[in-house]
Each structure stands twice: as C-alpha cells, then as structure tokens.
Amino acid sequence: MGYDAIRLTGLRFEGTHGVLPDERTTPQPFVIDAEVQVDLAAAGRTDNLEDTVSYADIAFVIDRVVTGETYHLIERIAATCAQRLLGLDDRIQAVTITVHKPQAPMPYDFHDASVTIHRTRDQAGASRALGAPPKQVSGIYEGELVEEDDAARAGSAYSAATPAEGASVTTPTAGLGYYDRKSLADLGEDGEAVKAHYRDPELEAAFPVRSVLALGSNLGDSRATLASAIQALEAADGVELISTSPLARTKPLGGPANQRDYLNQVVEIETQLSPHGLLDLAQQIEEDHNRVREQRNGPRTLDVDIVTYASATIDSPRLQVPHPSAAERAFVLLPWSWMDPVALLGGRPVRELAQEAEDYPDVVRLDT
Ligand SMILES: Nc1ncnc2c1ncn2[C@@H]1O[C@H](COP(=O)(O)OP(=O)(O)OP(=O)(O)O)[C@@H](O)[C@H]1O
Ligand SMILES: Nc1nc2c(c(=O)[nH]1)N=C(CO)CN2
C-alpha cells in the first residue's frame, strides 16, 4: 500500500433506504466500510489528535448520512458519505466507501449486496473549477443533489423520527451536527481545547456546509418580516434551507429601555457560499427589510446573525464565528434547541447553555 489511510470497517447502522416503499419506513441494516486517505506522518511523530482526522468524526459523518437521511440507492449513500467526508477536513485527499445492504429484499439466498466508490479531492476540485452544473459532473457532486421530492422526503423522515412539538421542520434523529460534534472531538484527552478550525472567510466551501443563523425583529410586523427573511434565504443562490425553529417571543436583552419585545427564530441552512458571502447575503436581506441601525442593540426590523458556519472559527474585521454572544443568549439558544434538541455549541449542549443564560426566563415559545 503506497499511501496512509484511516480505515473503518463494518460500521453497522439501521437505515431507511431503498426503492420499495416498505424499505423507506422499516429500517434495515446497512454496513459501511470507509478508507480515508490522510497523510499520517505528522501524527505519527507528534502523537497529537490535531495532526490527524479523528476516526470518531469519520464515523459520525457516516452515521449522520446513513441514519439521518433517506435515499433510493446504495450508490447515493456511498456518494453522499464520500462527499461529506471530503468536506469534513481539507487534509482528506481521497475516500473509498463501501455500502453493504445484507438484507436487501431479493428472492435469493445471498450473503451481501454492496457498492464501492472511490472519490478524490482532485476530482472534486476539478469539477468545481469547470463550473459545470452538478448533475453533469460525475462523481462527488451527485450525492448532494436534492430534488424537490427529496427535500419533502427528508422533511417527513425527520419529523417522524423526532417529534419536536411545533417545529415546522426538525433535524435528523442523529441530530448532533457533525460539525458541532467535531468541536467535542477537538478536546484533547486531558480536556484541553486543541487547535481551532480557522477558516478563510473569503473561501467558498468545496461542499455544502451547515450553518445556523439567528433572526430577530422588534419593529414593524415582526412575524411577517421573519417569514419573508426565511423565504429570501430559501430563494438565494447557494443556500438550501434545512430546518426552521419555532418562533420565540423574547424580552430585549441590553439596549435602550422601553423597547418592544422581540420575535426570534433560528434556521439551519446548507451552503457553499463563503463565510463573507453568507454575511453579504444576511446583510442584503436585512437591508431589503428596511433595517435601520441607529444604536447598538436598539430596535430593528430585522437582524440576521451567523451563529455557526461548519466547524469554523472565523475572526475577520467583518465577521466572528461562532457569533461571540450566541452562547450567552437564550433568545438564540432556546429556539435552536427546539429545532435541534441535541445541538452542541463549543462542545456543550445548546439546551444546557440556554438554561444558564440570563435571559432564559424571558423567552416564550410560540407554537402558532
Ligand atoms: N457572526 C456574525 N453575524 C453577523 N454579523 C457579524 C458577525 N460577526 C461580526 N459581525 C459584524 O457585526 C456588525 C454589526 O452587526 P449588527 O449591527 O447586527 O450588530 P448588533 O445586532 O447590534 O449586535 P449583535 O451582532 O451582537 O447581534 C456587522 O456589520 C457584521 O460585520
Ligand atoms: N430578546 C432579544 N434581545 C436582543 C436581540 C434579539 O434578537 N432578541 N438582539 C440584539 C442585538 O442583535 C440585542 N438584544
């Protein structure tokens, strides 16, 4: 073998993938083997987790695809796993994924049905440089195409799995965002935080990444403004809406006295926009909703903050991610936890952080 690799074999999950309607409601076993090519020389020298890719993160990415999503074909499960893994860490050069479906419904006595695919970072980079529409590009992008019926399927599969009252769309059962989960893995054995994932804010994502946005309004028709802002996000190029939280009515935290209560809401998107590109979009949407910025923390028709962007830490003059105040704001954390009950921020459950925030008692869930 002429290359370094991390290998996971026999990862077993229950999933609802298949062409037959029954397969899409009744879980059956799927077994995944993954070979992830990473240069392991540095980790071999330093004995440091930060110098390699954690196999736990690799397993988590695969878990999220196999248990949290629903596809017709094992080819597509494999392609999606490959794509998400290449998006997990820039140091991953190539991946080989085998998806086994040992109980595939066939009237034959057989041991296993499986597919194996190999995807390299170069293939992904080349197809991106060509700027070809994803469907015409073989390989890595295919798994990410979400047709309309897929989005609907995903929505229904998710809400069946996680009956979060009132949430219009909820996140998958396996719901720990793997990017958030990564921050857990970033804790070294002694619990000390290791290197943060600093990210160039101008760089577009090679693959769609998850981002959580927080919206707030306390001027004008706030309910209509939030709905319209979410519509604008959904309609924007390079953005796919994944989940929206229930609305929260919240008391103003900070800022001048006698402000009206806010309506707050959190959404999760998938995007290939760069962090600055996403900030531009957020600010454009604010402007389109007549945002007036007169004083810090003052009343506003619409505020759109980027709470997280993949697992990135960003500190540019225009943008800090994770949003520096998010971890102390129940008006962000509680709606987020309603949308994704197992979400983590900085390795801590968002639900717990919400309970510790000073404005926790001032946040009321609105279910209609
Ligand atoms: N994660 C982020 N999301 C949105 N804006 C950010 C972020 N990090 C830094 N900024 C910068 O913050 C600037 C001020 O934003 P804004 O006017 O919305 O502040 P604010 O709403 O008064 O306070 P806050 O950002 O604490 O909610 C923006 O122009 C933007 O460049
Ligand atoms: N309840 C609540 N308070 C706030 C909010 C907000 O969205 N909701 N936004 C602020 C600055 O962005 C300051 N204070």
pLDDT at 20 over 80: yes
CA-261 nearest atom, ligand 2: 1
Residue 297, ligand 1, Cβ within 6 A: yes
User: How many whole angstroms separate alpha carbon 286 and alpha carbon 279?
Assistant: 10
Active site residue 101: yes
Would you say residue 209 has pLDDT above 50?
Answer: yes
Question: Is residue 183 predicted with pLDDT exceeding 60?
Answer: no
Determine the distance separating the centroid of ligand 2 and the alpha carbon of 254, expressed in angstroms.
Answer: 7
CA dihedral over 273, 278, 284, 288, signed as positive or negative: positive
Which residue has better confidence, 13 or 137? 13
The closest of 326, 279, 90, 122 to 199, measured between CA atoms, is: 90
Q: How far is the CA of 314 from the centre of ligand 2 (A)?
A: 22
Ligand 2 centroid–CA 1 distance in Å is 56
Of 360, 96, 98, 366, nearest to 251 by C-alpha is: 360
pLDDT interval class at 198 (50, 70, 90): low
Least confident piece of the model among 10-19, 168-177, 213-222, 264-273: 168-177
Domains and CATH numbers, the chain: 5-145 (3.30.1130.10), 209-366 (3.30.70.560)
Task: Name the residue with higher pLDDT: 86 or 145.
Answer: 86
Per-residue pLDDT band at 191 (split at 50, 70, 90): very low
The pLDDT tens digits for 85-111 are 998 888 999 999 999 999 999 888 889
Q: Which atom in ligand 1 lies closest to the alpha carbon of residue 297?
A: 22
When pLDDT is averaged across residues 258-272 and rounded to a whole number, the result is 94
Question: For atom 4 of ligand 1, which residue has the closest CA?
Answer: 305
Flag whether pLDDT at 42 surpasses 90.
Answer: yes
- How far, in Å, from the CA of 254 to the mean position of ligand 1? 15
To test the ligand 2 pocket, which listed residue (247, 260, 331) has its Cβ within 8 A of the most ligand atoms? 331
Average pLDDT along the chain: 79
